Amino acid sequence: MKTASISKYRPFPPVQLPDRTWPDQTITTAPIWCSVDLRDGNQALPQPMSVEEKLEFFDVLCRVGFKQIEIGFPSAADTEFNFCRRLIEENRIPEDVTIQILVQTREHLIRRSFEAIAGAKKAIVHIYNSTSPLQRRVTFSDATREQIRDIAIEGAKLVKELVPTIPNTEVILQYSPESFSDTELDFALECCNGVIDVWQPTPERKMIVNLPDTVQWATPNIHADMIEWMCRHLKSRESLLVSLHTHNDRGTGTAATELGLMAGADRVEGTLFGNGERTGNLDIVNVALNMNSHGIPTGLDFSDLTSLRQVYEKVTRMTVGERHPYAGELVFTAFSGSHQDAIKKGLDRREKETQGDPELAWGVPYLTIDPQDIGRSYEAIIRINSQSGKGGIAYILDREHGLDLPKTMHPQVGKRIYDLADELGRELTADEIRDAFYRLFANVELPLSVKDYELVHHTTERGQVACSATIELYGEERKIHGLGNGPINAFVQAMQGAGMKDFKVTDYRSHAVRGGSDANAAAYVQVQHDDGRILWGCGIDPSIEMAGLKALVTGWNLLRA
């Protein structure tokens, strides 16, 4: 924004609440959740959902565990009305789920809404009218506060009058002073209390007072002050459910909701993945999984978040961003080398520690939750590009391809492979990493290769083995022989006899390759050149002896690369 433009804006006034208590509160229990995907989310779509798509989404929301679902604005369009009727007439609403409909406080719209919900076991009738000074001035042509308050009161009276016309439906009233976020608190209170006086809720028959952050004008702490102020001053507080409905204009929908709950709210409205007008609604997935990450049960099941995201993207034709909390494609992915190394160490250590304590508290660097708990897999956590490090590449080779590289081999392998990613200018796939490892570090046969190898374990020297090998060195074939205390040592002695030994073997490891189609063994041999250079070579073969030999030859060749 240009500096000259800033003069047109004003700071949002703070709430005078010096004895605020919400900063000392913590969230210990989940609120009542209400999905507004099928109404608020749907009306924000470039192409609204069809009835069939809404039915599919409704079923998904029920499976997730939502007990209150705002299904639409049935008085606004035939599609909305017909969807509501299909839910009721086809008995699609589970016994423990309450549908919610939205309607402006206008007589003909309220009457049409009652026609829509007739026959439902239980329904929330959500009435609203705009209350802010800006809306009063612009939308309602300078209407007075009294006129706006009376709209709310008359709407509540009509709802109460119509309840007996659908005797088989339990009606719960919800009132929203729309644009509460920039309405004077005393006037928002006046409107809400006027509706409360009409409805006369009781602790057994509660009313919902919804305080929407329709447009985010202020920081989350001011929103929390507003919620705490209202909770203190509303009539019949014990007979009310105070509800939050935060939008995300300032990018703080989650924070505003969490602080609003600390300030005394009982209920939360929002959508999956934050779909909604402008920058969207509160993302209920985000808030619920934040609670889960602190050990708080929410009643919502996001254990298969990938499938949920697929349904959402299909019926809404929206996409979940790659960095979207919890659900994004890359949120459990580390490209940074230091992050990758820490994640690998954390996962390896946890795997060992949980064998003795299955209930061990979660603790892996850079991962606030276990990705498996929401249907993600570890295979996608570490991915490799030019910013990656040795730990991440070793992790991929281990988890994806069953190759457990010695730790001191990680830098050697890591540098070559992330140099390759840098050269290509893109991320490497797990298979590309495996292929590069095999090409650069496993069974390398130039300039030296073994054409034939024979090992004799029974010799005149006790504990010794003899080897006889046909090798090709720089295109020339020759035979070498050696005697040693094992297969690798015997070959080293053969190389020494042929004038080829300018190194010493300083380490050796081996293991079975996990998850491969063949029963291969992997061996790793560390060689130190006479000039001090230290390198690892890897050999892979069905025979553990041949794998070790190939690892030694690879190390020798790499010293000459």
Q: Please enumerate, by residue number, every residue annotated as part of a binding site for Mg(2+).
A: 40, 245, 247, 281
Ramachandran bin of 142, using left for φ above 0, alpha for ψ from -120 to 50, beta for the remaining angles: left
- Close Cβ partners of 423 (under 8 Å, ≥ 6 residues apart): none
SS3 278: coil
Q: What are phi and psi of 555, to 5 degrees?
A: -60, -45
Q: Are 154 and 125 in contact (CB under 8 A)?
A: no
User: Which residue's entry shows tokens 């935060």?
Assistant: 246
- Other beta carbons within 10 angstroms of residue 138's beta carbon come to 11
Q: Write the CA distances from 315 to 172, 284, 311, 548, 556, integer angstroms.
A: 29, 18, 6, 56, 59
| Token digits of residue 475 | 């295109």
User: Which residue's entry shows tokens 């892979």?
Assistant: 540
| Structural element, H or E, at residue 312 | helix 305-316
Q: Are 478 and 498 in contact (CB under 8 A)?
A: yes
- Close Cβ partners of 123 (under 8 Å, ≥ 6 residues apart): 98, 99, 100, 101, 117, 169, 170, 171, 172
Q: Write the CA distances from 432 to 358, 401, 499, integer angstroms.
A: 35, 11, 37
Report the alpha-carbon distance of residue 158 to residue 163 in Å, rounded: 9
* Listed residue (433, 426, 430, 439) closest to 385, CA to CA: 426
Q: Are 487 and 550 in contact (CB under 8 A)?
A: no
Q: Are 421 and 427 in contact (CB under 8 A)?
A: yes
* Listed residue (208, 204, 203) closest to 192, CA to CA: 208
- Other beta carbons within 10 angstroms of residue 282's beta carbon come to 26
Pairing of strands 98-104, 122-130: parallel
Report the alpha-carbon distance of residue 401 to residue 377 in Å, rounded: 15
First to last CA, the chain: 56
* Listed residue (557, 466, 472, 550) closest to 510, CA to CA: 550
